[in-house]
A and B are shown apart, each in its own frame.
Chain A
Amino acid sequence: MSHSRSRLNKESARLANNAARVAITLSALVSIAALLAILCFLLLNSFRAVGEVGLWEMLSGTIWHPTSSPPAFGFLPAESGSLWVTLIAIVCAMPIGVGAAVCLSEFISGRVREVAKSLVECIATVPSVALGLLGMTFLVPWIRTFFSLPSGLTALAAGLMVGILCLPTIVSISEDALTAVPDALRQGSLAMGNTKWQTAVKIVVPAAWPGIFAAILLGFGRAVGETMVVLMIAGNSGLVVQGPFEAARTLPGTIASEVAEVVRGGLHYSALFAMALVLFLSTFVVNLIAAQVIDRSRRRWSR
């Protein structure tokens, strides 16, 4: 009697085991499905704009007048704005971020390190609208008075704020790469009479370079895609941006500010999806490269 019950138990456990394997594998496929679905919906909805305006005309057009007649759907104002804002953000965040990561992994340790690390990373939990509000209230007026500009809503203001926003990405991923370098390399270098700084510059940073490069790429991706900060403080001008002191619009900012009022299914709507497609593909490429680099460097040290 108890024998047959235990067999029944075993049988049901095996069934549950197999069912679980199938269910778990299926839910892992959700991420692939979601990514494909995003791509499909962007493609489907941007067909109309690509057909009526033309892909190259959109990518290189210098005028964005979606609501005038005849409308003009040139992405260049937004593309140039995105480029300037991202460039400023990365130029500010890269040296500071990599320097902070080297400092964290090579020069300080213990409790101080834990505290500093969580402090740097905690800005990632602040919603970007709040950062936009701070930028509006403090950074924008400062920039206006400091550079005596007619308006502080510029690519520079947005770039600085976005730089702050992508700092934690750069710091924590490069720090991971630096700490993954085996200690034997450090000790070897120190034993040869190198100072800590020489060890860091000549041995550890070169060894961790792929990871640091990936961190910068991911920071770049984060900066390109940032919406709210840019929407609130970049100025949203319609012109092609020539320099940091001009008002700018970016790809995400344009989409976010216009998508709520657009006629669904119309040409403008479709053009916004084409813009999102450009954004999606560019971050996709950047992330693909970063993921590949991180994967390879992880394999290298785990051997």
Chain B
Amino acid sequence: MLEVRGIRAAYGPVVALHDVSITVPDGAIVTILGANGAGKSTTLRTVTGLLKPLAGSVILDGVDIAGKSPDWIVRQRVAHVPEGRQIFATLTVSENLALGAYSRSDERGIAADLKRVFDYFPRLFERRRQIAGTLSGGEQQMLAIGRALMLRPRMLCLDEPSLGLAPLVVRDIFRIIQTINKDDGVGVLLVEQDAKIALSIASYGYVLETGRVVVSEPAEKLVANPTVRRSYLGY
């Protein structure tokens, strides 16, 4: 259970989040929608510790993690798939996955998770010795998600997994995200531009506008919400 309570965050003098509160119940997929610059990624960055909030708190299973260092938060098994994939381009697929388990030391658990990742993404198994920079965009996104799974996360934060991918590939990736969520009940916080596909797998959605939550509703109601339909779904 992740609770973001009234966070305020800024880049230098520019305030990006005014008062954002978001709840991700255990085992749920929650999506944050919004236009460019609305503060979606910023919210994610404060959750994963890349940005320290000026005010408010981020409660993970009763513990306030706001303002803690990113490596401490990763050790609480909050995994972050950064925007634009950000794989380690000169390393092999296997080495990338090994780095995903960087903060773990239980060899046996890591081996089991590696097998699990290869089960989800057989493509990565085929290409395990390949240099990651030579993978296609979709494969790179799979690698980025697989790398995050190597942490055996209790929270999976995804920043625009559909970025720059073909619609067919996006559908595959979202199906896998859904499977992962169902299989081990990991909570997913999903930041997405593609509102339609995000709402198809999410149970709850938030819409941000210039650093404020303007709508928060269950996904099926959000799809029917006229403002959302007009602004983000385009019909």
Co-assembled chains A and B: no
Q: Which residues of B contact A (CB under 8 A)?
A: none
Q: Which residues of A contact B (CB under 8 A)?
A: none
